[in-house]
Structure 1
């Protein structure tokens, strides 16, 4: 990922716009998918009220049947409990993985915090094995921080 500085600037512009939060989240998904070739599915999941589950919000990519994910289930559900980034370079090596489609080969999930509470996450699926680097984590952490200001 060579253009991380430019991507961050554009994310900054999206997040500081006066548009409704849903529109900003959708713009982030669409923008990341258009800019980063190996981001084949980009979406946000948020804690579903007081329930111990995540609910799918805005996303880019093929529709998924996983609109509700219980805490602890799959990569997203594990991040909801661990409060830590989870990078899976090859999903076939992951026992607790929920398949969103046969094309998905890898996944990265980064939590969003407000006042120290994990309120959601950004989830990226890729059709490539081993595509993610520390730059991806840096960018997604940056995005999660920006999203926490308007969500």
Structure 2
């Protein structure tokens, strides 16, 4: 399924009044994981600005020990500080990378803004080296714009 085909499905999930916020987040993770072949782990992390940590929210994929990540640590932690998208074509080439699994070859993290404040991020791991393009970035920015409406 193309990104254009997925956009109305993402919007429909966020508008579904029968689902809780966490159920909507999980449904978006499931939709992306199921329909984009190289999205092998899809999840959300949410910022606690008081403790300068990220906390794992709903996700789909292999279990992770990384339920709390300090700002600045790993790809997710760096995005919490930079407020910028971070595409890692090959995780083996990254110095400040927190290894989740030997099967993860690449990662993309896109910050989630609500009223201009970075409240979290969508994090996607792939078992393929260098699959992410600018189209992935734009699509995930759209996903986060839809998610931001829940807050």
Give every structure 1 segment of 4 or more consecutive aligned residues whose post-TM-superposition deviation is greater than 3 Å.
Answer: none
Residue ranges of structure 2 left out of the alignment (5+ in a row) = none
Aligned-residue CA RMSD (Å): 0.9
Query: TM (normalized to structure 1)?
Result: 0.97
Equivalent residue runs for 1:103-122 within 5 Å: 103-122=103-122
Partner of 1:61: 61
Equivalent residue runs for 1:102-141 within 5 Å: 102-141=102-141
SS at match of 2:149: helix
Partner of 2:50: 50
Encode CA deviations 1:12-56: one digit per residue, 9 max, x unaligned: 100111111000000000010000000000000001362100000
Shift of 1:108: 0.1
Partner of 1:16: 15
Distance in structure 1 (CA, Å) of the matches to 2:82 and 2:135: 21
User: Quick check: 52-61 or 13-22, which moved more?
Assistant: 13-22
Residue ranges of structure 1 left out of the alignment (5+ in a row) = none
Query: TM (normalized to structure 2)?
Result: 0.97
Distance in structure 2 (CA, Å) of the matches to 1:61 and 1:48: 23
For these two proteins, the number of residue pairs brought into alignment is 150
User: Quick check: 28-37 or 41-50, which moved more?
Assistant: 41-50
